[in-house]
Chains A and B, each alone.
Chain A
Amino acid sequence: TQLLEQSPQFLSIQEGENLTVYCNSSSVFSSLQWYRQEPGEGPVLLVTVVTGGEVKKLKRLTFQFGDARKDSSLHITAAQPGDTGLYLCAGDAGNMLTFGGGTRLMVKP
Chain B
Amino acid sequence: NAGVTQTPKFQVLKTGQSMTLQCAQDMNHEYMSWYRQDPGMGLRLIHYSVGAGITDQGEVPNGYNVSRSTTEDFPLRLLSAAPSQTSVYFCASSTPVTYEQYFGPGTRLTVT
User: A residues engaging B (CB < 8 A)?
Assistant: 1, 4, 6, 9, 31, 33, 35, 40-45, 48, 88, 90, 92, 95-102
Contacts and interface: CB of A to CB of B under 8 A. Distances in A.
Contacts of A101: 40-42
Contacts of B44: 99
Interface in B9-63: 33, 35, 40-45, 48, 50, 56, 58-59
A3 to B, nearest CB: 10
A99 B41 CA distance: 9
A95 B98 contact: no
Given A48-B98, A92-B99, A42 B105 contact: yes
A46 to B, nearest CB: 10
Interface of B: 4, 33, 35, 40-45, 48, 50, 56, 58-59, 90, 92, 98-106
B101 A45 contact: yes
List the 6 shortest-distance A-B pairs measured between CB atoms, nearest first: A42-B103, A99-B42, A99-B43, A101-B42, A102-B42, A43-B103
B38 to A, nearest CB: 10
Contact of B101 (A4, A43, A102): A43
A92 to B, nearest CB: 5
A41 B107 CA distance: 10
B44 to A, nearest CB: 7
A88 B43 contact: yes
B59 A9 contact: no
Contacts of A102: 40, 42
A103 to B, nearest CB: 10
A44 B104 CA distance: 10
14 contacts: A9-B40, A40-B106, A41-B105, A42-B92, A42-B103, A43-B90, A43-B101, A43-B103, A45-B101, A48-B100, A99-B35, A99-B43, A101-B40, A101-B41
